[in-house]
Amino acid sequence: MAKNLDYANIGFAYHKTDKRYISYWKEGAWDAGCLSEDSNVVLNESAGILQYCQQVFEGLKAYRWKDGSIVCFRPDMNAERMFHSAEFLEMPGFPRDRFLEALDETVKANVDWVPPFGSGATLYIRPYEFASGIVIGVKPADEYTFRIFTTPVGPYFKGGAVPIALMISDFDRAAPHGTGAIKAGLNYAMSLHSHEIAVEKGFTENLYLDAGKREFVEETGGANVLFVDEKDRLVVPKSDSILPSITRKSLIYVAEHILHIPVEERAVRLEELKSFKECGLCGTAAVISPVGKIQNHEEEICFPSGMEKPGKIMDELYRTLIAIQDGEMEAPEGWIRHI
Ligand code: PLP
Ligand code: COI
């Protein structure tokens, strides 16, 4: 039975749930792993994560279907991305098959925290790995911790499907040939200062430009960006320094194979934005959040879809994705993992 929470107003926040999964890597191997009721982490003052930020994470969700069953959406892709992120930061990757087993175990142990079907809320799952071994010289640690916790969440942005306003940041999120394409906490630390500036100025998020030339649009602090052009094509920015979003990959498939919307994946110039009809952010937390306008210094770029409701194509993509995740529409092969 799902807990009796105020799901309509739950927001995107942390709630302590019953159990979390923990596995330690010591002397070159991962231990068997176990569930724990302890939500605190105790570390040495010189742990690698505290000194040199060796940490990677993932974000995915568990959904309760109408028949009461519980599923996850494409978790094999989170397992793969996390393995790659870890290797990029010289951390041992957590084996993909064990990631999926640990995920099942953690969700099952917190089954009452999976929000009811139709509540608009889901169980957000946060796998993460960090250097728990001691280092003082700059080098990789020799001990690591992998954990998964869960928390029930509502929409990431207040108001759910109400369009938001973005600001072009004067700061960069990720360097060319840097860490932009991996999911490491350090990328998010880099975005906090500019996030606070954007919020102070009345915007919900920043849109970052490519750090090399500052001519192309990249993504926001926690989601990829999508556009619809004047020919009703879905335009998807391509760059080596943005996170390869699982939601974005899924939406490209939905657009091409289910909705028959042409897709262009390519570098997108900031200059082009004023010719686009619609804009939206996509990600596990963001799902698809419509964007009504983008402030580029003195210039206000207003999308014809406006600030009242999502554009037509963003709305179709949103409805299709949600229907697949909620079990209301048949999913492409391999997208759904029954827990
Ligand atoms: N970009 C960033 C910076 C993110 O933090 C996220 C969230 O995970 C995404 C994009 C979307 O990725 P995904 O759809 O895999 O959740
Ligand atoms: C996600 O969508 O899972 C994210 O990680 C975005 C943000 C909450 C960091």
Residue 113 belongs to domain with CATH number: 3.30.470.10
Report the pLDDT value the prediction gives residue 144, as an integer from 0 to 100: 98
ipTM metric = 0.98
- Give the ligand whose atoms come closest to the C-alpha of residue 183: 1
- Residue 114 sits in the same domain as residue 50: yes
In a domain, 187, yes or no: yes
Ramachandran angles phi, psi of 130, nearest 5°: -145, 160
Q: What is the DSSP letter of 236?
A: E
Domain count, the chain: 2
pLDDT at 2: 86
Q: Are residues 182 and 274 in the same domain?
A: yes
Structural domain ending residue among the three candidates 107, 133, 153 = 153
**Other C-beta atoms lying within 10 Å of the C-beta of residue 118:** 10
The verdict on residue 89 lying in a domain is yes
Give the burial class of 110: count Cβ atoms within 10 A of its Cβ; 0-12 exposed, 13-18 middle, 19 or more buried: buried
pLDDT, residue 328, reads 97
Please report whether residue 10 resides in a domain.
Answer: no
Distance of CA 168 from the midpoint of ligand 1 (Å): 18
Q: Does residue 37 belong to any structural domain of this protein? A: yes
Given 183, 231, 277, 293, the catalytic residue:
183
In a domain, 334, yes or no: no
pLDDT for the residue numbered 157: 82
Q: Is 145 found in the same domain as 185?
A: no
Nearest bound ligand to the CA of residue 225: 1
Q: Residue with the nearest Cα to atom 3 of ligand 2?
A: 59
Q: Are residues 115 and 261 in the same domain?
A: no
Nearest residue to 333 via CA among 97, 69, 74, 100: 74
Output the pLDDT for position 161: 80
Domain shared by 172 and 314, yes or no: yes
Cα separation, 181 vs 288, whole angstroms: 20
Residue 234 lies in a domain: yes
Where residue 302 sits, what CATH number does that domain have? 3.20.10.10
With a threshold of 0.90, does the pTM exceed it?
yes
In a domain, 4, yes or no: no
The residue ranges of the chain whose pLDDT is under 70 are none
Per-residue pLDDT at 221: 95
Q: Which domain does 40 fall in, by range?
A: 20-153
Using the 3D structure, point to which of 99, 134, 153 is the last residue of a domain.
Answer: 153
Which pLDDT score is estimated for 158? Answer: 76
Whether residues 183 and 310 fall in one domain: yes
